[in-house]
Structure 1
């Protein structure tokens, strides 16, 4: 059964369960008209997940369109970058567990991007995973050890995060963007201005990725030219 939006909680563990297909698509962006929130235009497909598999934890909810921003248990390589978040319709999710706060601890959120979660309270300790700004890290008693807080992680298990990147107040992250666009009715031919709301995972291209992408394109173009040259030479022979 799909999640009732009234019962959604940040940190809720979920798995995929598409009522239409045997899999669920994970997206990087989505937008919709405010006067027609049931019609959603999705962006790029980060990946697909078969029904019944654990997906991750809910980090945010967009109520008008019943979408969830999910932090993935397993990051997905997409466009040369490991994506740790995806936008998923709530209708394609079901609850595994609901977060509870243990006595003597508080929920903490991450205040930076790509902040490392380590196995111990030291910069030399192994890296378990990473969290981004606004992500729920988990629960901690707030006692610093060597500049680290110990967590019962929202993603499961125990880990340590540098105290300067932890806050009991959820920081402001990229909010849904609203813009006015002109749309034309294909039946009547009439046009009107509508307000469109857009959300994304906040994990777009970095400068480094753009450079890599450009370099790959240049190499591919060079190889294509070389191949065409060889083909013409063979024809000439």
Structure 2
């Protein structure tokens, strides 16, 4: 059963549950008109996931359009980068559990972007996941070990995050709803200016990825030219 927008909670654990298909599309962003928030133009599809799979936890809610940003249990490799967050319609997910605070601990939020969650209280410990500014990390007693706080993670399990990136106060996320004016043509052919709201996961290309992408494109182009050149030479003989 789909989650009602009024019952959504930050940190709520959810699974895929599309009422129309056997799978759910995970997006990197979405736009919607101020006058018609339910008419949504979605961005790129990061992945499709079959119904019934555990997806992640809700980190942000966009009530107008009934969309949520979900931090994934397992980041997805998309366009040469692991995406930890996706945009999903509320109608396509159902709740697994709601967040509860364990006695003696408090909820902490992340104050930086791409902050690593580790399996131990050390910079050499293996990386478990990552969180961004404004994301709920989980619950901790606030006692630092080697500069790290130990968490009962909102994503599940235990992890460690550098104390300098942890706050009891939820900061404004780096990625917020952006409003802009655009020109649109109505069904009668009339052009008018409308207010559009836009949101994304904020996980785009990095400089390193653009260099890699350019190198791959150049290599593919080189190989294609060589193959075509060989074909034409054989044809001439």
TM-score of the pair, normalised by structure 1: 0.97
1:2-41 aligned within 5 A: 2-41=2-41
Partners of 2:31 and 2:100 in 1: how far apart? 32
1:1-237 aligned within 5 A: 1-173=1-173, 174-185=175-186, 187-237=187-237
Partners of 1:119 and 1:78 in 2: how far apart? 24
Stretches of structure 1 lacking an aligned partner (at least 5 in a row): none
Q: Give the aligned CA root-mean-square deviation in angstroms.
A: 0.9
Aligned-pair distance for 1:8?
A: 0.3
Partners of 1:101 and 1:158 in 2: how far apart? 14
Q: Report SS of the residue matched to 1:37.
A: coil
Stretches of structure 2 lacking an aligned partner (at least 5 in a row): none
Partners of 2:232 and 2:69 in 1: how far apart? 52
Aligned-pair distance for 1:33?
A: 0.2
Q: Name segments (4+ residues, structure 1) moved above 6 Å.
A: none
CA deviation profile, 1:33-69 (whole Å, cap 9, x unmatched): 0100110000100001100000000000100000000
Partners of 1:175 and 1:123 in 2: how far apart? 30
